[in-house]
Amino acid sequence: MKFKKVVVGGTFDRLHLGHKALLRKAFEVGKIVYIGLTSDDMVKNKPYAEKILPYERRLKDLIEFLEVNNFRRYRIIKINNAIGFTTRIRSLEAIVVSEETYKGALLVNRAREEVGLRPLEIIVIPIIKSKLGDKISSSLIRAGLIDPFGNPIKRE
């Protein structure tokens, strides 16, 4: 393990291969993983927002995934904005993001620097593609186009 404390964040709606890769990387590089889980308020403007699972269900699914994979050293914190708790926990050392959410890591680092904290080392994982060629995303799953493994859903 490279870092004592790392952070990762997201909506984690309908846990898919991309989410799992992100979480696995966080546990691979960090001894303790802080997971920012977006509140129901924060997801209101996402595509197909009405189909996003409620916070409590996303939390349950996330905990289930962590337990099944024997990930033990974590703390899940509800977040209401992109910066979340990253300016309050000064001992964080790194942030794990996908290529798509890299800009979010830059925002976090800017916010940390504004309050006199060290910027986080940014660890970027590649985007995982679906069989349709697009990235696997909760939006495509909510739209009924792919399953959580990136397989196209056949229309009858």
The answer to whether position 135 is within a domain reads yes
151 has a pLDDT exceeding 70:
yes
Question: What CATH number does the domain containing 45 carry?
Answer: 3.40.50.620
> How many whole angstroms separate alpha carbon 41 and alpha carbon 148?
24
Domain that holds residue 112: 3-142
Q: What is the pLDDT of residue 156?
A: 64
In a domain, 51, yes or no: yes
pLDDT in tens, 45-99: 887 788 899 999 999 999 999 999 999 999 999 999 999 999 999 999 999 999 9
pLDDT tens figures, 108-148: 999 999 999 999 999 999 988 888 777 888 888 888 888 88
Question: What pLDDT band is residue 105 in, cutting at 50, 70 and 90?
Answer: very high
pTM of the model as a whole: 0.91
Which one-letter DSSP state was computed for residue 12? Answer: -
Residues contacting residue 37 through CB under 8 Å, at least 6 positions apart: 9, 10, 11, 12, 55, 58, 59, 62, 76, 77, 78, 79
Q: Is residue 147 part of a domain?
A: no
Using one digit for the tens of pLDDT, what is the confidence trace for 4-53?
Answer: 999 999 999 999 999 999 999 999 999 999 999 999 999 998 877 888 99
In a domain, 87, yes or no: yes
Q: 154 in a domain, yes or no?
A: no
Number of domains in the chain: 1
